[in-house]
Amino acid sequence: MTTPKTDLAAYYTHIRALLKEHGVECAELEARILIEDLWLNTEGSTGQKPLGPLKTLNEAIYGAQSGFIPDSAPIREKIDQAVARRAQGEPLARILGYREFWKDRFLISPATLEPRPDTEILIESVLKKFPHAQNIEAAQGLKLLDLGTGSGCILLSLLREYPHSFGYGIDLSVEALACARANAERLGCSARVEFICSNWCEKLNGDSRFDVIVSNPPYIPCAEIGDLARNVRDFDPILALDGGADGLDPYRELIGSLKHFLSPNGWIFFECGIGQAEKIAMMAKKSGAVDVEITKDLSGIERVVEISYGDK
């Protein structure tokens, strides 16, 4: 019996047209990603990925001769379902179940915020403050704390940069922590991280001290959540978005208390929203901070507030 074949060029063109029809801006790229991720990168019964069809896909996209690949009804159905979800506005990363962040790929779930490029400024800020700790010969690594860890993308990216360091990730969501643990396992960091289900620092040992405390807390004013882009409003967890009436409730709760968890000369790094940095900086100064710095993202938005209490 002859195995049915699929004209890959025609199939790619069909998906691209469908995505364009529904207003997807990068329809060409997303059509390619869906085919590569859900079909061409699917391991067969031999455990080997069919790399050959990638050449065929390139030919289809760049105008060379068309080509055919063995048909697979279940995979076609899977792609068609994914395209339908994308056409209805669901973010591509949610459909694929992962998002690229910093230097790695991170699994995401309905309980985790989708990592975004703006948050990479948080990683850069820490690296600038502690460049020496990247030395793989260093005997003493950093002790890191990530509040509201979600997928673990911030904490695990830092642990990958600081191979002798140890980190703690805290989140109120059990489901988010399961995703973070899965990412730690995939990235080889499980032995250097501990995840804790807690409301901020409630379950931390009072004697714990950290060189670096990072957090991307909820900072959207609750009245503005309904006006967010659909891909955020309808798909990111509300727990990771709602920052109270003015978006600053988490900072009020954390600033001041966190200094008791800092090592001598340790630093706190907060991500924040548009127009919030100066208010957070003022809170920190009123709580006794001796050094407060603000870092802008690539769009010129004040995105990270860096706080030090010296040796207290």
Task: Indicate the number of domains in the chain.
Answer: 2
Residues 139, 71 share a domain: no
Alpha carbon distance, N-terminus to C-terminus of the chain: 78
User: What is residue 210's predicted lDDT score, i.e. its pLDDT?
Assistant: 97
3-state secondary structure of 73: helix
- Domain membership of residue 145 (yes or no) is yes
Does residue 131 belong to any structural domain of this protein?
Answer: yes
Quick one: 185 and 47 in the same domain? Answer: no
Q: Find the domain containing 71 and state its range.
A: 5-89
The first and second tokens of residue 7, run together, are: 């004209």
Asked, for residue 60, whether it belongs to a domain, the answer is: yes
* Domain identity same for 46 and 141: no
Half-sphere exposure of 92 (CA within 13 A, CB side): 18
Domain match, 190 and 124 both: yes
- Report CA dihedral (178, 183, 189, 191) to the nearest 10 degrees: 20
Of the residues 48, 63, 89, which one is the last residue of a structural domain?
89
Tell me, yes or no, whether 94 lies in a domain: no
Task: Indicate whether 54 and 144 sit together in one domain.
Answer: no
Please tell me the pTM assigned to this model: 0.90
Pick from 253, 310, 249, 251: nearest CA to 282: 251
pLDDT tens sequence for the chain (312 residues)? 344 556 777 888 899 999 999 999 999 999 988 988 887 665 443 333 444 445 556 665 555 444 555 566 788 888 899 999 999 999 999 999 999 999 999 999 999 999 999 999 999 999 999 997 767 555 578 999 999 999 999 999 999 999 999 999 999 999 999 999 999 999 999 999 999 999 999 999 989 999 999 999 999 999 999 999 988 999 999 999 999 999 999 999 999 899 999 999 899 999 999 999 999 999 999 999 999 999 999 999 999 999 999 876
Give whole-number Cα distances, 133 to 7, 75, 80, 141, 164, in Å: 52, 46, 47, 6, 8
The reported pLDDT for the residue numbered 59 is: 61
In a domain, 141, yes or no: yes
End position of a domain, from candidates 25, 55, 89: 89
Cβ neighbours for 116, distance < 8 A, ≥ 6 positions apart: none
Examine residue 95 and state whether it is found in any structural domain, yes or no: no
Asked if residue 113 and residue 70 are part of one domain, the reply reads no
CATH number at residue 265: 3.40.50.150
Q: Are residues 182 and 267 in the same domain?
A: yes
> Could you tell me where the DSSP H helices lie in the chain?
8-21, 27-35, 52-62, 73-87, 92-96, 120-129, 153-161, 174-186, 230-233, 249-254, 277-286
Residue 221 lies in a domain: yes
Same domain, 154 and 258: yes
Per-residue model confidence (pLDDT) at position 48: 39
Dihedral pair phi/psi, residue 122, rounded to 5°: -65, -45
- Residue that finishes a domain, picked among 89, 114, 146: 89
In sequence order, what are the residues at sequence separation of 6 or more whose Cβ sits closer than 8 angstroms to the Cβ of residue 278? 294, 302
The reported pLDDT for the residue numbered 8 is 76
Q: Are residues 187 and 290 in the same domain?
A: yes
Question: What's the confidence (pLDDT) of residue 263?
Answer: 95
Q: Is there a single domain that holds both residue 159 and residue 212?
A: yes
In a shared domain, residues 80 and 151 = no
Domain co-membership, 36 together with 129: no
